[in-house]
């Protein structure tokens, strides 16, 4: 009710004590009285004031001097004035029938909505101040509690330290006693250990001598058995040689046979009699075949008989002491034919030798030229490899610098592996793998291993920027990046855009990046110019006219492209 009553300053002394007991009363229309009583039945202490008419009806009754109301409450106010008499010194109102007085002199107004709001704000501020003071006291008590707990822990630690030091002193005394006893027993222990070492060494030496003797005995038995077997084999082989037959066939002293055999090669000396016959037969066969090939595939009649007799001699028929002639007699027709062609063969041999010498000289010359060309090629390849390795290393250093400069970067680089060609037609490859650290103490990890998608995209853009930073004389170039900052979070996107802007400024290059509408706000803060392409519709083959904004002191750049942007666009 006090919200709708307003008091003049002169009326406050008499009316504020009259209204104070009714500060919580609610004004209701006469027709709502019964309903209000039912609603407020569960609220003991609730106060109702019945208005003169409807709450929204105009005020028609006579209002006391200095009192105004937006609701028809004249009867209630007149009743208060008649019942409660105002007296001063101090300001108060008195009910003579009840002999009850209510003091006035309020510092702040209590009637009117603005007064109610001001009072509520004052109460709220007072409550907030009390709450702040309570929290401050609580914080102080928490600080005191933490200090007390810290002192308690310190006291407990001091007590535990004393107990530990006492236990340590007891253990030190026990260790000292054990050390003393050990020092007294040390000489005896060393003597016992020395004796044990000597005994073990003597035992090992004896065991080794026994094992060695057993091995020698076993080896001697095996050697004796082998010598017996070798003797029996030698006797068998001697009997199989049929020496009487060969002595009769040789018909010369044994010394001459030894001299002839000594003049032969070592491999030939080791051949058996049958192997010698086979060897001689094969040599004669090769000679006959070579002559047949040179003669056009036809042997003379005298050599045809030699071929037949050669087979018989190889099989062991005839020969020395037999019923026919030996190999030398059989091969004489071939020797006679070869002697007749000796001069022609020597001339042909000289021609062949000269041709071989000339070919050898040409091959040597070609090899020297090829070696020179190969050396030049290796030097050129080395220079190219050095340039490429240097360029890739520079890119790796720039990649590392960019990663370390961004928040959350721990270093990056390139693993460079050269795969030189093995042949003249093989390609020459460099295998380059980007790597970076994903934690401060971690190692370099390849981009091929599973990682956060945003990390991979940030690394990819940094690698492109690193290549731009590493190039020499790159000023004036243009780099185009598609979907710049796409699918990146706010932090990573801002870092990438800042790095792009810094590289463009340092290298004096133009970097053009396409981006979506979601990125344009961040991009506008770091770029020098924005060109806005807007799609008209699916039915239109062309976009809307391009709009351009410049953001640097060199505003002439934007002006220079204005005519070009408007060219061919009548509605631009």
pLDDT one-digit tens code per residue, 518-543: 888 888 888 877 888 888 788 888 88
Per-residue model confidence as pLDDT tens digits over 361-396: 999 999 999 899 888 888 888 888 888 888 889 888
In three-state secondary structure terms, 223 is: helix
Q: What is the mean pLDDT of residues 144-163?
A: 90
Q: Which tops the pLDDT comparison, 265 or 152?
A: 152
- Measure Cα distances from 206 to 216, 220, 494, 505, 548 in Å: 15, 21, 85, 88, 103
Q: Which residue has the tokens 């631009």?
A: 572
| Interval 61-71 mean pLDDT | 88
The average confidence (pLDDT) of the chain is 82
* Distances 327 to 156, 274, 335, 448 between C-alpha atoms, Å: 118, 14, 12, 80
pLDDT at residue 332 tops 60: yes
Q: Has residue 320 got a pLDDT over 60?
A: no
What percent of the chain stands above pLDDT 70?
90
Candidates 75, 49, 45, 50; CA nearest to 60 is 75
- pLDDT band of residue 570 (cuts 50, 70, 90) is low
Measured distance CA(72)–CA(58) in Å, rounded? 7
pLDDT over threshold 90, residue 439: no
Q: What is the pLDDT of residue 321?
A: 39
Residue 311: per-residue pLDDT? 66
Beta-strand pair 67-69/5-7: antiparallel
Structure confidence at residue 572 (pLDDT):
44
Q: Which of 90-94, 247-251, 399-403, 554-558 has the highest mean pLDDT?
A: 90-94
Alpha carbon distances (Å) from 296 to 24, 299, 300, 304, 397: 147, 9, 11, 15, 77
Q: CA gyration radius for the chain?
A: 62
Quote the longest CA-to-CA distance of the chain. Answer: 186
Closest CA to 4 of 76, 72, 95, 58: 72
Mean pLDDT over 164-184 rounds to 82
CA distance 396 to 76: 92
User: In percent, how much of the chain has pLDDT > 90?
Assistant: 12
Q: How far apart are CA 18 and CA 79, in angstroms?
A: 10
For residue 565, the model assigns a pLDDT of: 65
Q: Is residue 470 within 8 Å of residue 397, measured between CB atoms?
A: yes
What separation in angstroms does the CA of 519 have from each of 280, 499, 528, 535? 97, 15, 15, 17
- Dist CA 327 CA 503 (whole Å): 96
Convert the pLDDT of each residue in 185-201 to its tens digit: 878 877 888 888 888 88
Q: Which residue has the tokens 């090899």?
A: 367
More confident: 250 or 169: 169
Residue 316, pLDDT > 60, answer: no
More confident residue, 325 or 476: 476
Asked if 29 contacts 54 with a C-beta cutoff of 8 angstroms, the reply is: yes
E strands in 12-91: 26-28, 48-50, 67-69, 85-87
- pLDDT at residue 366 in the model: 92
DSSP string computed for 426-454: S--EEEEEEEEESSTT--EEETTS---HH
Structure tokens at 201: 């060494």
- 557 has pLDDT over 80: no
Q: What is the mean pLDDT of residues 435-450?
A: 82
């Amino acid at each position: 009710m006090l919200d709708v009553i307003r008091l003049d300053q002169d009326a406050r002394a008499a009316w504020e004590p009259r209204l104070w007991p009714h500060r919580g009363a609610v004004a209701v229309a006469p027709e709502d009285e019964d309903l209000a009583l039912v609603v407020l039945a569960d609220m003991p202490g609730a106060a109702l004031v019945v208005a003169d008419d409807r709450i929204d009806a105009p005020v028609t009754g006579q209002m006391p001097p200095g009192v105004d109301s937006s609701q028809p409450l004249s009867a209630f106010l007149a009743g208060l004035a008649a019942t409660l008499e105002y007296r001063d010194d101090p300001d108060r109102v008195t009910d003579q029938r009840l002999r009850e007085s209510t003091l006035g002199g309020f510092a702040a107004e209590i009637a009117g909505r603005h007064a109610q709001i001001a009072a509520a704000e004052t109460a709220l501020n007072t409550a907030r101040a009390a709450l702040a003071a309570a929290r401050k006291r609580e914080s102080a008590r928490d600080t005191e509690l933490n200090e007390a707990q810290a002192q308690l822990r310190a006291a407990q630690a001091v007590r535990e330290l004393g107990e530990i030091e006492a236990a340590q002193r007891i253990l030190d005394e026990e260790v000292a006693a054990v050390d003393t006893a050990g020092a007294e027993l040390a000489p005896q222990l060393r003597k016992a250990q020395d004796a044990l070492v000597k005994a073990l060494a003597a035992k090992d030496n004896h065991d080794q001598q026994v094992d060695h003797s057993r091995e020698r005995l076993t080896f001697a038995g095996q050697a004796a058995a082998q010598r017996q077997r070798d003797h029996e084999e030698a006797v068998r082989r001697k009997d199989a040689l049929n020496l009487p037959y060969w002595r009769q066939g040789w018909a010369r002293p044994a010394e001459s046979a030894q001299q002839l055999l000594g003049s032969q090669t070592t491999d030939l000396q080791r051949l058996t009699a049958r192997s010698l016959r086979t060897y001689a037969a094969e040599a004669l066969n090769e000679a006959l075949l070579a002559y047949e090939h040179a003669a056009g595939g036809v042997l003379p009649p005298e050599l045809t008989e030699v071929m037949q007799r050669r087979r018989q001699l190889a099989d062991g028929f005839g020969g020395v002491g037999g019923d026919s002639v030996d190999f030398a007699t059989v091969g004489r027709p071939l020797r006679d034919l070869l002697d007749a062609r000796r001069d022609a063969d020597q001339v042909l041999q000289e021609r062949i030798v000269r041709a071989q010498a000339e070919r050898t000289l040409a091959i040597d010359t070609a090899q020297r030229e090829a070696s020179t060309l190969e050396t030049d090629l290796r030097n050129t390849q080395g220079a190219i490899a050095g340039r490429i390795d240097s360029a890739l290393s520079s890119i790796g250093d720039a990649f590392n610098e960019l990663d370390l400069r961004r928040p959350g970067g721990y270093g990056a680089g390139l693993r460079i592996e050269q795969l030189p060609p093995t042949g003249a037609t093989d390609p020459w490859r460099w295998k380059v793998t980007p790597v970076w650290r994903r934690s401060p103490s971690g190692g370099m990890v390849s981009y091929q291993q599973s990682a956060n998608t945003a990390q991979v995209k940030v690394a990819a853009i940094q690698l492109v920027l690193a290549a731009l930073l590493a190039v020499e004389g790159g000023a004036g170039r243009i780099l185009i990046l598609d979907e710049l900052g796409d699918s990146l979070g706010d932090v990573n996107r801002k870092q990438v855009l800042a790095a792009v802007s810094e590289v463009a400024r340092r290298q004096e290059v133009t970097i053009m990046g396409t981006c979506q509408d979601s990125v344009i706000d961040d991009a506008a803060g770091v770029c020098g110019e924005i060109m806005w392409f807007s799609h008209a519709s699916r039915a239109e083959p062309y976009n809307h006219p391009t709009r351009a904004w410049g953001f640097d002191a060199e505003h002439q750049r934007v002006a220079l492209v204005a005519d070009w942007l408007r060219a061919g666009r009548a509605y631009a």
